[in-house]
Structure 1
């Protein structure tokens, strides 16, 4: 029995490139007949498809919320870390810092909050998606078909790769 997963949980994408519509349709039928994979998680991308972006990254609206949440959490963690570092420095540090207690707390907290936001940006870059996106974009521009499978675990990703492998000219996956 198939279970429903939310788009937020779909962290792994697998894409296959096909040289002909027949190969793509055969692989699509194999994926749709599998009981572990959900049909709404499987997208066929036609050559020169105008809905390319939505099929490749269907969870765009949730990504913005995740980015805001990640940046806010990392900034707060940075502020807490900066406050702890400032406290430690004030307890054991030079007298100069002890004379400017508020400035020490503010400057170190702001610095650590900024570092936290930078870390959040690095985390949210997801460079593993670039290769898959570029591969599919190039293939569809060159008149090839693509199928992308959005899964929520490694077993389903492996299953999707196994089902598409015999028909695909190439496969790409994200982490």
Structure 2
């Protein structure tokens, strides 16, 4: 497992969705995905004005909390270490302001490093790439369109889903 993946509590990091103008094409694409996917639970059909749209778009709510906790812990620590290393470099370079108060330089380096790490963790938890896809699917649903959403757990699964949804005539949306 990639060490970057330890920051995430979700199994599926990518979101692949497609919007369709009618029920028939969405249903055909949905069944095509279910035929080739060994994980049938990661695929959802979203109807116009679907009351369960949020749950279908983000089925791993516990995983999101784990992502929040893991990413803030690890990136906060990494930020602190990076800030301390930067403070040490500034002191080693002989910057007069840093040398005038080395303890404050080290303390501020650590605090600012934690702050930067926590900001990065917050951005990672918010997943703006997924939010964009979710917003477009929500808008399509509000305008009477159908959507198919899948939560692939590998790059191969994401590529297969994207290809099948494109072949099915959908407007495909994909997060990173």
Report the equivalent of 2:5: none
Instruction: Give the Cα separation in 2 of the matches to 1:95 and 1:161.
Output: 56
> Relative to 1, partners in 2 of residues 1:106 and 1:18: Cα closer, same or farther, differing over 3 Å?
same
Post-superposition shift, 1:101?
Answer: 3.6
- Between the aligned partners of 1:171 and 1:38, the Cα distance in structure 2 is 20
Q: TM-score, normalised by structure 1?
A: 0.82
CA RMSD of aligned residues (A): 2.2
The Cα shift of 1:91 comes to 4.5
Q: State how 1:4-153 maps to structure 2 within 5 Å.
A: 8-34=10-36, 36-93=37-94, 97-98=98-99, 100-153=101-154
**Secondary structure of 1:168 counterpart:** coil
Rounded to whole Å, the distance in 1 between the matches of 2:100 and 2:162 is: 63
Change (3 A) 1:96 1:139: closer
Per the alignment, do residues 119 and 161 of structure 1 end up closer, same or farther by CA in structure 2, a change over 3 Å counting?
closer
Q: Secondary structure at the match of 2:151?
A: strand
1:31–1:37 CA contact under 8 A, matched in 2: no
In structure 2, runs of 5+ residues without a counterpart are 1-8
State which structure, 1 or 2, has the greater radius of gyration over its C-alpha atoms: 1
Equivalent pairs, count: 168
Question: 2:164 aligns to what?
Answer: 163
| Other structure's SS at 1:17 match | strand
